[in-house]
A = this chain, B = another copy of it.
Amino acid sequence: MVRQKKPFAVPPLAKMTRSLALVASGRRSPDLILRAARVLCPYTEAILPNREIWILGGRIAAVKPQGSAPPRWGRREYDVRGGIVAPGLIDPHVHIESSMVGACAYAEAALRNGTTTIFCDSHEIANVLGRRGIEWMLEDARRSPLSIFLTVPSTVPATNDRMETSGGRIDRHDVARLFDRFPEAVALGEKMDFVAVAAGHPQTHAILGEALRRGRPVCGHIYGEEFVAAYAASGITDTHEAGEGKIALQMLQAGMWIFLRGGPPLTPWHSLPKAIEAVSRLGASPKRLCVCTDDRDPDDLLLFGLDWVVREAWRHGLSQPLGWSLGSLHPALRFGLDGEMGGLAPGRRADLVLLDDQGRVRNTWLGGELLVEEGESTPSLEKSLAARYRYPRSAYRTVRLPRRRLCPPRLPEGMKRFHLLGIEPPGILVRHRAVVASGHEILRRLREEDLCWLAVLERHGKTAEIAWGLLEGFGLLQGAVASSVGHDAHNLLVAGKRVEEMELAARTLESAQGGVCVVAGERILALVELPVAGLLSDRRIDEVAEAMRRLKAAWGEVGCRLPYMGFNLLSLSVIPEIRLTNKGLVLVPEMRLVPLWEESRAKGACRNRRGDQAVPKPTPSSASQRR
């Protein structure tokens, strides 16, 4: 295969210093001059009036006082008429897959949001397809009109084979190979198994070692102050999971960078307003803060990009240049790339954004090439997107469900202790509710109250397990919902009150080879097809966003209170307190399985994390049905 050139590639600085110095000294003319700019400077945190920017070969040669260049000195000129020119945004933590598109399609939305670089952790596709999936996505990234770096997926599966079954897995050898083969692999991606890290599990630490001995930074994901020291001691130097000012402060004190995550305001992704209190209320320096998006539904990506997150940081008290710095210079510095990007300074890539006075993105230049103008894709960008990457055929055949029909467990007659998943807004944390009841009472509540079944179907054609749980507070009034994007192992999640509707939802996604759907009775109310690894569409972003908007409308119609993306986390066994995987119910902080119900006065009962319910030690799971 002929290796395609990266669109809008910029030669390495090592090869350009001479020509840039000559332009900067006025001895050679630039390719492009942006005239009449106010320049947002993240280094000093100021806005510099009356500047012009000289660009050569996709890099900045100089930022000079307005009028320094003689008329028509640049081969091209562009008058920004007093607008603010800022460095392109850099998103330090993104899972592209959450936006249900490939890297090329993601790039289009990112550019419209003023984002010119992302650090992506493709651990979703890795959970389905292993290292192959990561490599395909890197190929996709190389064809995309965006600078995309990889933070090598570190925790695939998120826990281990006893807790869940993933389609792919990444071991230390895969990590080493990715680092050694792909120069864009600049860091280890979020190490999520914080219990295993703190307990010193050898395999987990071997993966950390592969990054650290290559001098690569390690990204984190952590809940609970009791784990902070062990996490930091293991070489993990960032986190995007700081939900409160106090824990954010502790993590900063432990030497971690904090990525303030912003997202749609009513979702749990929007932890920025609380986390930023580490600075605004508790007085920490903001110099180790970044902003990030982490995950975005495709429709939300167009509304709540990283530019929106920066504006949220402004709204919470940061100055315009400091807030923008959290999304440009600081992420570049965190990954040691501040000589290459993150500021509007000589030698750096000419990744630029033109803002209006409200900080909304009007234009975006990537490597000196204008790709978005007044919010619209330019012909250059359209041409690049038309030639986007196609995933190989085997990526389109990944949903292999158990053959048998769904059949929930027969509930017991006497009083038992049931372990329920309790939904509480905003919904990242799921409460562990232990309820003493008879099977009869549970069935009544399934009919009459806000309780429904949740099933997880192993979908990689490996174990054919179906696990059952009970979901309290999900809000579903009728019908069923299903998703093949069940973080992180991406087994199939189905929720419903009636098994027939659940069956229809599951088989609909099997036919589509992945996606998310809402059904009611015998009708499919909405379906977003995600045929690539059961995670991604192969369409462009606007089309997928529109399908997602229709799906969300249907999602609301059947009563679901938990947003779609929160639903996908119900099987993510690294977020407290309780999750359902294909293996059954997982109590996350103790990292152990419990059955759906057990004797109400079981021996060896121990206290759960909230301490208000006695939860027995594990017995062989009755919540998991085997073929």
Contacts and interface: CB of A to CB of B under 8 A. Distances in A.
Interface string A103-132: 000000000000000000000000000000
A84 to B, nearest CB: 15
Contacts of A41: 253
A25 interface: yes
Contacts of A27: 199-200
A235 B278 CA distance: 35
Interface stretch (A60-68, A373-381, A523-531, A608-616): A60-68
A553 interface: no
Contacts of A10: none
A351 to B, nearest CB: 14
Given A43-B253, A288-B43, A339-B237, A232 B14 contact: no
A208 B346 CA distance: 15
A212 interface: yes
A347 B256 CA distance: 11
Given A43-B288, A63-B253, A252-B43, A198 B233 contact: no
Interface in A129-144: none
B347 A232 contact: yes
Interface string A215-258: 10100000000000111111101000000000001001111000
A45 B343 contact: no
A345 B25 contact: no
A198 B24 contact: yes
Contact of A233 (B12, B24, B285): B24
A205 B560 CA distance: 62
A602 interface: no
B25 A346 contact: no
Contacts of A284: 43-46
A212 B12 contact: yes
Among A21, A237, A283, A345, max chain B CB count under 10 A is at: A21
B17 A285 contact: no
Contacts of A252: 43-44
Nearest to A208: B17
A490 interface: no
A21 B234 contact: yes
Contacts of A23: 233
A281 interface: no
A309 interface: no
A20 interface: yes
**Contact residue range for chain A?**
35 or more
A198 B44 CA distance: 24
A254 B345 contact: yes
Nearest to A15: B209
Contact of A339 (B15, B199, B235): B235
Contacts of A60: 233
Interface string A308-349: 000000000000001000000000010010110001011110
A476 to B, nearest CB: 40
A620 interface: no
Nearest to A279: B44
Contacts of A62: 229-230, 233
Given A43-B252, A43-B253, A336 B339 contact: no
A255 B345 contact: yes
Given A200-B21, A254-B346, A346-B255, A45 B285 contact: yes
Interface of A: 12-15, 17-25, 27, 41, 43-46, 48, 59-64, 197-200, 202, 205, 208-209, 212-213, 215, 217, 229-235, 237, 249, 252-255, 278, 283-285, 287-288, 322, 333, 336, 338-339, 343, 345-348
Q: Which 9 A-B pairs have the closest CB atoms?
A: A255-B345, A233-B346, A14-B212, A232-B346, A20-B233, A44-B284, A62-B229, A14-B213, A24-B229
20 contacts: A12-B212, A13-B235, A14-B208, A15-B209, A18-B202, A21-B198, A24-B230, A25-B199, A25-B230, A27-B199, A44-B249, A44-B252, A44-B284, A44-B285, A46-B284, A229-B346, A233-B346, A253-B345, A254-B345, A255-B346
Given A20-B233, A64-B229, 13 more contacts: A12-B213, A13-B235, A20-B230, A24-B229, A25-B199, A25-B200, A62-B229, A231-B346, A232-B346, A237-B338, A253-B345, A254-B345, A287-B287
